[in-house]
Structures are given as C-alpha cells and as structure tokens.
Amino acid sequence: MAARQGVIARYAARLPITPATPRITLFEGETPSIPAPRLCAEMGLGSLHLKFEGLNPTGSFKDRGMVVAVARALEDGSAALVCASTGNTSASAAAYGARFGLRTLVVIPSGRISVGKLVQAQVHGAEILAIDGNFDVALSAVRSLAAELPVTLVNSVNPHRIEGQKTAAFEIVDDLGDAPEVVAIPVGNAGNITAYWRGFREYFAEGLCSRLPRMIGAQAAGAAPLVRGRPVADPDTVATAIRIGNPASWQGAIDARDQSEGAILAVDDADILVAQRDLAMVEGVFCEPASAASLAVLRAAVRDRLVAPGTAALCVLTGNGLKDLAVASEGLRAPVLVASDAASIAAALGLR
Ligand code: AN7
C-alpha cells in the first residue's frame, strides 16, 4: 500500500487544479470499502461493501470536496470561507480554514444541528451564526452574501466541492476492481449523488470500470423533495444532516437517477434508526443516522425487487456515528453499577 497522499495529490490529473493551486491536505479520502458479509447474506446480495466516509479527518465525506474548494480559494486570494450547514460542511470548512489560515463563517439552522458537529466548528475557531429558519433559508442567505463580498462560498453549489467528492467513486473502483452494480447513498442537498455519478462516468469513459452502477438515493420521508417532485417547505427528520427541503443539486440527482436507471426513495426515520443500529451491532461500523439511510433504502429496494438477488452492492456511509451521540444513545440501557471485585463483575455478567 502506497503512503497516504490525500485527495489532491492522488487524483490531481482528474481535478480542476492548476500549477498554481496549493497542494494542501489533511489526508482526507482513501477511506475503506468494508465488506459487510452478514447484511449481505440477510439481503441475498452477491456482495455488499460499506464505503466508510466517517473515517475522514473531520468525520464525513465533506473533506474530499472541501480540500479542493479551499485550495482554489487560497489560489484566488480569498479572505474567508462561508457556508450554510446542517453540520458536517461547517465542521469540515472550519478545520480546513483553521489549518490553512482562512476565516470561516458559518450559518446554521438554530437548534437543528447535532452538538458534536457544532462543537467541531467551534473548536476549530469558526465564527458561527444561527438563524431561526431551516437549512434552505440559511443557504439562500449565504449565497446572497457571497455574491456581494470577497468570500468563498464552500457549499456544494461551489463546483470544486463536487469535483473533490467524485474521488470517492474513483477509490471504490480502484479498491474493488470494478464499479458495484448498485450504489445506495443518502441525498440531502444532492451534491454527493451528483459527484459519485460523475466519478463513475469519468472512469467508465476511460475504460477503468466495465460497468456503471445504478444509483439508489435515500431521502428521509419527512424531507423527500426529490421523491415528491417538489420542494418541501418544512422538512423534518431525525437525520438532521439531510433535513433539507429544496436541494441545490436537484437536477444532478435526477440525472444520476435517470441516467443510471436507479431510483430515489423515501425511508422512514424508524427504518433509518434500525439500520444505524444493525450496522453497528452486526458489522461493527458506527455511522450517523443520515448515513444509515443508505442501508435502509437498499433494504427497501431489495424488498420491492428493484434490486435482484446476487447483486454487487455498496452503501455509502457518509458520516461517523460519533457525530450525533444524542440520537444514537436513545433507548440504550445504562451500564449496570456493580462492586469492583471480580466475583461481583462475573456474577453480574452471568459468568458463574
Ligand atoms: C452525513 O453539512 O448538507 O446530498 O450542510 O452530512 O451532498 O447534501 C450535509 C449533508 C449525507 C447529504 N450524509 O449529502 C451539510 C450538509 C451526511 C451529511 C448528506 C449530508 P448531500
């Protein structure tokens, strides 16, 4: 295995960088596609891998696109990064801003991002404002702000974000030897499904994979504008990362769905939470609720026969489970208090 390089150095020839673009990195990307044999058997699939993006430096896939956006911002002499966020974009922007010397300005929907993500942005020194409105309102506000001021918008409407994120598709093919037949992926603002589809198409066009995957997108039932075919004014879901009612990359998601002969389906919060727990209990991988929507949608697609037995499938797990402990801890039993001697511990465990 070659030494870690990070997204820009590893895929420089396939990214929108110039000789003057600084080759920055926090060693993002190069995340594993982890085999999930027990969930694979449960669904009767041919293979199942989990692309665990929670292992990126700030714990989500956002770092792949952020490094490219920040490198270009530095090249352009920008003074600051600005974003709206459901949490992960702001955590990533704050880390890269801190490391590479740019102010980071964040607008979040008040009370609706996980504490872990908010604290990440805070510890990295971002300047954070909360609005009494949802992500869609916050994004609209920062788009207007960035149009008027010499700051760089680092939401996925920044095309360099999508370019960086497409490298996850390259890695899947590089690691597995070909594209999966089906890729299940959560969809919020729809930048990531757009990026994966672009990445697979670029590799396919160069003959680096023999097939294109069908893209199966997952939206939370209470925040499913792409499934309903119109924006949702008041999106709601336990998966706060994808609590988005009017995705910026709407057309990108529709193109990925239609060109790949895939689907975008709604999954209930209850099914998302069961999927999160199953991934942790059965495969040893702890992802955040939005990420678990990919397993929930794959299960639904298998059940509804959209995905046939024997298929080679992959779920994109976009963020780390440690991001949102409040949701994950609901319904868990507290540790039993015992005396500190071995006999008491053994007795409490039923070992004698
Ligand atoms: C864990 O951080 O929109 O469809 O502001 O954090 O590309 O938006 C996060 C989105 C999936 C959806 N999984 O990806 C933000 C933000 C996780 C996420 C998505 C997000 P897109």
Question: What residues are paired with 33 via a beta bridge?
Answer: 51
Two tokens, residue 351: 């070992």
Helices (H), the chain: 7-10, 37-43, 62-75, 88-100, 115-123, 135-148, 159-165, 167-176, 191-205, 225-228, 250-259, 269-283, 289-303, 325-328, 342-348
pLDDT digits (tens, 9 = 90+) for 285-326: 999 999 999 999 999 999 999 999 999 999 999 999 999 999
The CB-based long-range contact list for 118-121 (8 Å cut-off, 24+ gap) reads 118/87, 118/90, 120/58, 120/59, 120/90, 120/91, 120/94, 120/95, 121/85, 121/90, 121/91, 121/93, 121/94
pLDDT digits (tens, 9 = 90+) for 219-258: 999 999 999 999 999 999 999 999 999 999 999 999 999 9
Consecutive 10-residue runs of the chain (352 residues): their mean pLDDT?
89 97 98 98 98 98 98 97 98 98 97 96 98 96 96 97 98 98 98 98 98 98 98 97 98 98 98 98 98 98 98 98 97 95 96 88
Query: Which residue type does 287 have?
Result: C
- Positive or negative, the CA dihedral 337, 341, 344, 348 is positive
Cα separation, 83 vs 66, in Å, equals 11
Checking DSSP bridges between strand 47-52 and strand 103-109, what pairing results, if any? Answer: unpaired
Kindly state if the Cβ of 248 falls inside 6 Å of ligand 1: no
Spacing of C-alpha 135 from chain mean position:
16
For a substitution probing ligand 1, which of 81, 107, 131, 189 has the most ligand atoms within 8 Å of its CB?
189
CA of 241 to the centre of ligand 1 (A): 5
- Relative to the CA of 117, which ligand 1 atom is closest? 2
- Relative to the CA of 155, which ligand 1 atom is closest? 5
For a substitution probing ligand 1, which of 198, 318, 323, 324 has the most ligand atoms within 8 Å of its CB?
318
On whether the pTM is more than 0.85, the answer is: yes
- Relative to the CA of 90, which ligand 1 atom is closest? 2
Query: Which pLDDT value is given to residue 1?
Result: 55
